Amino acid sequence: MLQVAINGYGTIGKRVADAVRQQPDMEVLGVAKTRPNFEAETAIEKGFALYAAVEEREELFAEAGLEIAGPVEDLVADADVVVDATPSGIGAQNKELYEEYDTPALYQGGEDADLTDVSFNARSNFEDAVDADHVRVVSCNTTGLSRVIAPLREAYGVEKVRATLVRRGGDPGQTSRGPINDILPNPVTIPSHHGPDVETIFTDLDIDTLGMKVPATLMHMHSLNVTLEEEVDAADVRELFADESRLFLIPERMDIDGSGKLKEYALDAGRPRGDIWENCIWEESVSTVGRDCYLFQGIHQESDVVPENVDAVRAVTGAADAEESIETTNETLGIGF
């Protein structure tokens, strides 16, 4: 059993911990927090060993009545791989710790691409991360774009991608984020960081991205225009997407017209936390005009990278190939509505 450490038990870390626990070839060795809060208490209630990420704050856990298993250094030393799910920029600070104990580490998309050996998306470049020491699991938006681009490149070839990303202002629990009553070009310059980030997965891809922020918390929304290398019928593109396990084609009959109903559907379907690990593509939005393909997709920013982290664990440890890992992750998490 692969012993997996989770350094950072917040929005992503707690979801990755739950996902790792469901894998037949992995165990959660422990999770690390910088301070006691409701998530730290929940971790202990779930039976995860809790470690202190900051030595100077160990006494805060005792004062809160939370028993810790030790410092984060002990957790890293004993782990086969570390998933760093700390806030952007902290992973870079933690890299020296992981190198000290010679423990392979996964970082999240908020870190700079040049921090690691490779940027990772399971569908697109799993093999590039095999036996790597430091791997960056790309962001929620880059994950969503990569999952669509990969099959289009393989089936038809891609000449150009143009994507407009309408991004949520913050996650539901991020009370300090905004905007509250505004629509922001973010950034106002072109491209947004998402295009160059996708190019860390597809190094020869021509892609332009624009970003916006809106007063919403549920999901991101992408508007895509992909110029293909050949003319193709929209029905063929829909069929191509239907064969992709992490793309959910929303049928018109379901009357899901936005993020709110998508989240409601996920909750009704029994998804933990209402998570949606798949890209959600409105089937009727998939259209073609000549070589241009158009679509709308929703991306659940809190969860679409979770299965990617699980697959990355197997990649860096050489525990499985891409097909086997993706199949196992999908089956254990219940991916596919």
Tens digit of each residue's pLDDT (9 = 90 or more) over 83-135: 999 999 999 999 999 999 999 999 999 999 999 999 999 999 999 999 999 99
Which residues are documented as binding site?
11-12, 110, 139-141, 168, 194-195, 301
- 319-330: per-residue pLDDT in tens? 999 999 999 999
- For position 206, what pLDDT does the model report? 98
- For position 105, what pLDDT does the model report? 98
The span from the CA of 255 to the CA of 262, in Å, is 10
Q: What are phi and psi of 260, to 5 degrees?
A: -60, -45
- For position 19, what pLDDT does the model report? 98
The DSSP call for residue 216 is -
Per-residue pLDDT at 173 exceeds 90 = no
- Name the pairing type of β-strands 292-299 and 26-33: unpaired
- For position 337, what pLDDT does the model report? 85
- For position 143, what pLDDT does the model report? 98
Per-residue pLDDT at 176 exceeds 90 = no
- 183-233: per-residue pLDDT in tens? 999 999 999 999 999 999 999 999 999 999 999 999 999 999 999 999 999
Domains and CATH numbers, the chain: 2-137+305-333 (3.40.50.720), 140-299 (3.30.360.10)
Q: Mean pLDDT across the chain, nearest whole number?
A: 97
Note the Cα 182 to chain centre separation in Å. Answer: 26
The span from the CA of 152 to the CA of 147, in Å, is 9
- Name the pairing type of β-strands 158-168 and 279-282: unpaired
DSSP sequence for 131-176: T-SEEEEPPHHHHHHHHHHHHHHHHH-EEEEEEEEEEESS-TT-TT
Q: What are phi and psi of 194, to 5 degrees?
A: -70, -40
Q: What are phi and psi of 149, to 5 degrees?
A: -65, -40
Confidence of residue 177 (pLDDT cuts 50, 70, 90): confident
Contact indicator for 70, 54 with CB cutoff of 8 Å: no
Q: What are phi and psi of 322, to 5 degrees?
A: -60, -50
Which residues are documented as binding site for NAD(+)?
11-12, 110, 168, 301
- 251-294: per-residue pLDDT in tens? 999 999 999 999 999 999 999 999 999 999 999 999 999 999 99
Per-residue pLDDT at 3 exceeds 90 = yes
Which residues are documented as binding site for D-glyceraldehyde 3-phosphate?
139-141, 194-195
CA distances from 173 to 8, 105, 110, 164, 332 (A): 16, 27, 18, 25, 27
- For position 175, what pLDDT does the model report? 79
Which are the catalytic amino acids?
A: 140
Per-residue pLDDT at 65 exceeds 90 = yes
- For position 127, what pLDDT does the model report? 98
H-helix or E-strand containing 287?
strand 287-289
- For position 110, what pLDDT does the model report? 96
- For position 298, what pLDDT does the model report? 98
Tokens of 236: 């063929």
Single pTM value for the model: 0.97
